[in-house]
Amino acid sequence: MFLGIPAIAGRDNESIITNGVPWFDSDGNIINAHGACIIEDGGKYWLFGEYKSDNSNAFPGFGCYSSSDLVNWKFERVVLPVQKDGILGPDRVGERVKVMRCPKTGEYIMLMHADNLKYTDPHIGIAVCDSINGDYRLLGTIEYDGKPIKNWDMGTFQDDDGTGYLLIHHGPVYRLSDDYRSISAKAAHIDGMGESPAMFRKNGIYFMLTSNLTSWERNDNYYFTATSIEGPWEKRGLFCPEGSLTHNSQCTFVFTLTRNGEKIPIYMGDRWSYPRQASAATYVWLPMQVNGTSLSIPEYWSSWNINGIRKQTLSGETKIHDWTSDKKGEKLRIPFHGKRISIIGESNSQSGYALVSIKDKEGKILHSQYVDFYSKVPDLSPRYVSRLYPEDDYMLEVEVSGENPVWSDKKGNVFGSKDFFINVSKSIIEK
Ligand code: DGJ
């Protein structure tokens, strides 16, 4: 389906998106953009997301990155920091930031979910800016019928005619006014919707993606279609294999990539990792296949090439380790000579956080972070792909941290791992 798209020149591994591993920006820092969206503007791609912390779920700001290829990202800045007070003041929640450029005014409009830490004071906030990566000014909450919208998960959609929409969990779809600063009407209510709404349009069909309600845990997301935003909307079922828990992710946005005149919807999902969201929560981006009203991501591509839109495995010298431990402090040490190292391991419901670090030949720590090995459904895939270093001798250490992702939802249901296991089956070294 995606064959026939010629590759653009460039080193192969520099064009690969590897899902479920931390990504690094051009400064070597972890890309911190959760509940994200991408817009194309001024010849670049812009990624906006929650600039999470590892220590608390309190709003730490929304970040912005730019890229010319969707793989290599430059950190621009935190475009909306914690406010002095109000809906995004200290000890509040800010999630699912979405940005659109209003075609009529040229202004950039940012919409988001704002809440208290218990998620009992939800609002949809609005911020604006004259430049895409400037300081966004929080205007307040967006209202419908004279009242603030007291809902949490949200998304946005910009139709081909420039009309903007605000999508709300469990059904409402609001049409924005011409200046995108307010709501002009309720366009639809999609019965049967869940959380994390994400919409796109292809060949005259509107697709709406949504997740079930399982806190930070993944579930089998599903979708609806319609030939008009107003509906009728028809529930179509799952778009990933049943039981894969949406390839272990929760939808947040669909970015339509235009390549050689073809429009390719790219699924963007979150693989949350509570409580270490900043370092250990990762992203799952995959091209979606559309055939009429049928939508699917039939296979999980742990790595794929953005140029050819094709599955691609990581290449390099492969070493087998078959190392497993759940004893806090136990370490696997992998000395290597090269530019980059990747580790492949199993994640499952007994897995915990690893502390992964890279040291230079003098023993100086160049990088250290938590890596999440937990997943409800077992999966053998890359868990860590280092940034590119100058070719040299290095040591990779994988340590059992003795911590695991465990959390509870508003009702007190407990989710997450039952043990602290880390498994490294092999490593791949790129020269
Ligand atoms: C699931 C939602 O989809 C997320 O946006 C977030 O609010 C978490 N729940 C919090 O538990």
What is the Å distance from ligand 1's center to 9 Cα?
A: 39
pLDDT tens track for 104-145: 999 999 999 999 999 999 999 999 999 999 999 999 999 999
Q: Is 115 in the pocket of ligand 1 (CB under 6 A)?
A: no
pLDDT of 234 higher than 70: yes
pLDDT of 4 higher than 90: no
pLDDT of 1 higher than 50: no
Burial class of 320 by CB neighbour count within 10 A (0 to 12, 13 to 18, 19+): exposed
410: pLDDT confidence band, cut at 50, 70 and 90? confident
Atom 10 (ligand 1) nearest CA = 215
pLDDT of 6 higher than 70: no
260: pLDDT confidence band, cut at 50, 70 and 90? confident
Mean pLDDT of 219-244: 98
Mean pLDDT of 324-342: 98
14: pLDDT confidence band, cut at 50, 70 and 90? confident
What is the Å distance from ligand 1's center to 408 Cα?
A: 12
Neighbouring CB atoms inside 10 A of 411's CB total: 6
pLDDT of 298 higher than 60: yes
Q: What percent of the chain has pLDDT over 70?
A: 97
Report the C-alpha gap between 246 and 238 in whole angstroms: 8
12: pLDDT confidence band, cut at 50, 70 and 90? low
5: pLDDT confidence band, cut at 50, 70 and 90? very low
**pTM value > 0.85:** yes
Give the Å distances, CA to CA, from 235 to 36, 206, 207, 293, 295: 25, 12, 10, 10, 12
Q: Is 216 in the pocket of ligand 1 (CB under 6 A)?
A: yes
The per-residue pLDDT for 10 is: 36
pLDDT of 393 higher than 80: yes
Three-class DSSP labels, the chain:
CCCCCCCCCCCHHHHEEECCCCCECCCCCECCCEEEEEEEECCEEEEEEECCCCCCCCCCCEEEEEECCCCCCEEEEEEECCCCCCCCCCCEEEEEEEEEECCCCCCEEEEEEEEECCCCCCEEEEEEECCCCCCCEEEEECEECCEECCCCCEEEEECCCCCEEEEECCCEEEEECCCCCCEEEEEEECCCCCEEEEEEEECCEEEEEEECCCCCCCCCCEEEEECCCCCCCEEEEECCCCCCHHHHCEEEEEEEEEECCEEEEEEEEEECCCCCHHHHCEEEEEECEEECCEEECCCCCCEEECCCCEECCCCCEEEEEEEEECCCCCEEEEEEEECEEEEEEEEECCECEEEEEEECCCCCEEEEEEEECECCCCEEEEEEECCCCCCEEEEEEEEEEEECCEEECCCCCEEECCCCEEEEEEEEEEC
Q: Which of 119, 251, 409 to mutate to test the pocket of ligand 1 (most atoms within 8 A of CB)?
A: 119
The per-residue pLDDT for 11 is: 44
Report the C-alpha gap between 297 and 281 in whole angstroms: 21
pLDDT of 346 higher than 60: yes
pLDDT tens track for 78-92: 999 999 999 999 999
Q: Is 23 in the pocket of ligand 1 (CB under 6 A)?
A: no
Atom 8 (ligand 1) nearest CA = 215
